[in-house]
Amino acid sequence: MESIKAFCERKLLGYSVDQYIIMFVVFTIFLPHYFSLAAMVGVAIYLIYTKQLKKIIFNTPRGHWALIFGALSMAVSLYYQNYRGFMQCVGIVFVAIFILYYRNYVDERLFTFIVDTCCLLSLCCFVWGLLEYAQIVDRLGYPFDEFIVEDSPANRINSTFYNANYYGMMIQFLVLMCLYKILHAKTIHRVVFYVVTILCNLFVLYLSGCRAGWLSFLVTIPLIFYINKHKKTSLFLVLMIVLVVVIVLLNPEIFPRFDNILRYFFNRTKIWFTAIKGICETPLFGRGPSAYYMIYESLNGRKAFHSHSVYLDPLLSFGIVGVGMICYFAWPVVKEVYRLYAKKINIELFALIICAILAVLIHGIFDYTVFWIQTGTVFLLILNSASMYKKDTNDVTL
């Protein structure tokens, strides 16, 4: 009991009130999404009440641009009567405020707690996913141990993340967090814990039927070890991945939803061409989030809620001006991340951030799963974690 008490005191005591609030919001990310949104609305109200809102905005390089972007996107959405997009813009503003708040209070101890919490809560999502899968196969009349995965989104597990593909994106971040912790681990039992956590997450990724979720691992898993100078481990992982890919190509029936991948690819291309037509119609400001859902019918496109591309949907939704504002706001963050590597401050964190970005870009070829309150917030938490080392990066040339 004394050791448990000491562990709890070491892990849970000694944070500021603001850091405890951030911890609570992170916990809600692993609940259904409306809990996360409610928590972030609560954060905004708290910051207004305590008169911190102005401080956290202007303490962040170009922080006010996040709110300007949100206001512009709201105006564009209302102009095109895109009321769904308007509500999503409101959500963007609350997420942006929370991330600015996080940047002002994150330190190494808090970030370590957040990563550990995400890894631990992923096991709760794993159990939830198994129970969900048991209900699905019972309803469809399949035996549990055959691990059959249907095409229909209604018959694929999503745990607490609303959609199977959102869950797939979340699992990619969680696996990378576990690898980050393995690189820091000093005892074998901690390595075993994170390896088991990775395997559990990969198993439910399989059951989710999210095919694009596996693509980033071909690059990110070997790369995170390579960046950290574990070149032999990286090479071994590359060889293992090649072997697995060959086995799947020779036996496509062992991988869920692999046999119809070409049909789904051609469906995606129809969506992409429709999105490109939509971008050409409103290139400067877009039509607000969920613009694809507004235009697909008039352009004879395939029905979808978004354009299934992280490269096309931001342009369709926010236009060249909006995407330019995002890039302008993100540039100081890029400098912070680069400084981790250039100054050799925390190579493990640099590798985690780079691999998280690659996960979004690779998965984003076929889907737009980062544009969701849970996946987007976790990605932004990782991306902005470099701010704990230096707020001012003017000494970095990039």
Give the integer Cα–Cα distance in Å for 351 and 382: 11
Domain locations in the chain as residue ranges: 25-388
- At 256-284, the pLDDT tens digits run 777 677 777 888 899 999 999 999 999 99
- At 217-234, the pLDDT tens digits run 999 999 999 999 999 999
Would you say residue 19 has pLDDT above 80?
A: yes
Share of the chain above pLDDT 70, in %: 94
Q: Which of 317, 339, 341, 321 is nearest to 394 (CA)?
A: 339
H and E: helices and strands count for the chain: 17, 0
Name which of 86-100, 139-153, 161-175, 351-365 the model is least confident about. 139-153
Query: Would you place residue 392 in the very low, low, confident or very high pLDDT band (cuts 50, 70, 90)?
Result: very low
**Average model confidence (pLDDT) for the chain?**
91
CA-based R_g, the chain, Å: 21
- At 169-220, the pLDDT tens digits run 999 999 999 999 999 888 899 999 999 999 999 999 999 988 888 999 999 9
Give the integer Cα–Cα distance in Å for 176 and 224: 8
**Is the sign of the CA dihedral 183, 187, 188, 194 positive or negative?**
negative
How confident is the model over 49-54, as a mean pLDDT?
93
Q: What is the model's pTM?
A: 0.93
Q: Which of 219, 114, 123, 132 is nearest to 171 (CA)?
A: 123
Share of the chain above pLDDT 90, in %: 76
Would you say residue 8 has pLDDT above 70?
A: no
Which residues have CB under 8 Å from 305's CB, separation 6+? 290, 292, 293
Would you say residue 252 has pLDDT above 60?
A: yes
Would you say residue 393 has pLDDT above 50?
A: no
Name which of 96-100, 139-143, 354-358 the model is least confident about. 139-143
CB 307 within 8 A of CB 50: no
- At 140-154, the pLDDT tens digits run 888 888 888 887 888
Give the integer Cα–Cα distance in Å for 130 and 136: 10
Give the integer Cα–Cα distance in Å for 264 and 172: 21
How confident is the model over 94-119, as a mean pLDDT?
95
Identity of the residue numbered 229: K
Structure tokens at 35: 């809990």
CB 57 within 8 A of CB 100: yes
State the pLDDT at residue 327.
Answer: 93
How confident is the model over 328-354, as a mean pLDDT?
94
